[in-house]
Amino acid sequence: MLAQYREKGILVAIQTKTASPGNPFMMDLGIERVSSAENEWVVLVKLHKLGTRPNFFVVPHNHVSAVAYALHKRSLATPRRDGQPRRDHSRRTLRATQFLDYEDQWDLLLQPTSLVPNRLGADYAECVAQWGAPGGASWYPAPRARACPTLNTQPSHVLATGVSRSANRTRFRLSVICRDVNKLRYAGEP
């Protein structure tokens, strides 16, 4: 779908992916195509029970591309439960819980996708850091720095951070991935 913001003369290409209640987003191999355009987006639509507003996650196409690629590489490198190697396939699945910081971020559509910081959840950010992105990870934005009053960790030691919300959104979990676990300190620790 193409959408235009006439006041600013901005044209964006939006691909939508929908997940029914209790299911992940299902995509095919084509989602891994790297976009050179600055206006390609994916809107992930997570449906809930009838009469409940869906969740909308506004994500640059290349962020979704990187995650789909890295998760697939990680999956292929992990043996099945019976110890046998996994077979390659064209299906890609993504979980909404790893895109929470993109939720209802419609204002992102007004800027070039290359300027959008990495807002992926900790698991996906770590996966991309480990397994890379299609076409090389050089174009993939590093995780954005996030301030946390309970951590006393140098930003140069942090690879990725993420905040996960519980299903009812009453509890939050902060995840921090450090280069060296010995450099992670909580406030008040010596």
**Where are the extended beta strands (E) located within the chain?**
2-5, 10-19, 25-28, 40-46, 55-60, 91-94, 158-165, 172-178
| Cβ proximity of 175 and 122 under 8 Å | yes
* Residue 28, helix vs strand vs coil: strand
CA atoms within 13 A on the CB side of 160: 20
For the whole prediction, is pTM greater than 0.85? no
Per-residue pLDDT of the chain (190 residues; tens, 9 = 90+): 888 888 888 899 999 999 999 999 999 999 999 888 899 999 999 999 999 999 999 999 999 999 999 999 999 998 889 988 889 888 999 999 999 999 999 999 999 998 999 899 999 999 898 888 887 645 455 554 444 444 444 444 444 444 444 444 444 444 444 444 444 444 343 4
The rounded distance, in Å, linking the Cα atoms of 91 and 89 is: 6
Please name the helix (run of DSSP H) or strand (run of DSSP E) that holds residue 183, with its range, or none: none
CA-based nearest residue to 154, from 190, 179, 171, 130 = 179
Report CA Rg, the chain. Answer: 18
β partners of residue 59: 42
Could you tell me the strand order of the sheet in which 40-46 lies? 2-5, 10-19, 40-46, 55-60
Say what the alpha-carbon torsion angle 21, 24, 30, 33 is, to the nearest 10 degrees: 120
User: CA end-to-end span of the chain, whole Å?
Assistant: 54
* Contact (Cβ atoms closer than 8 angstroms) between residue 32 and residue 69: yes
Alpha helices in 81-182 (DSSP H): 122-131
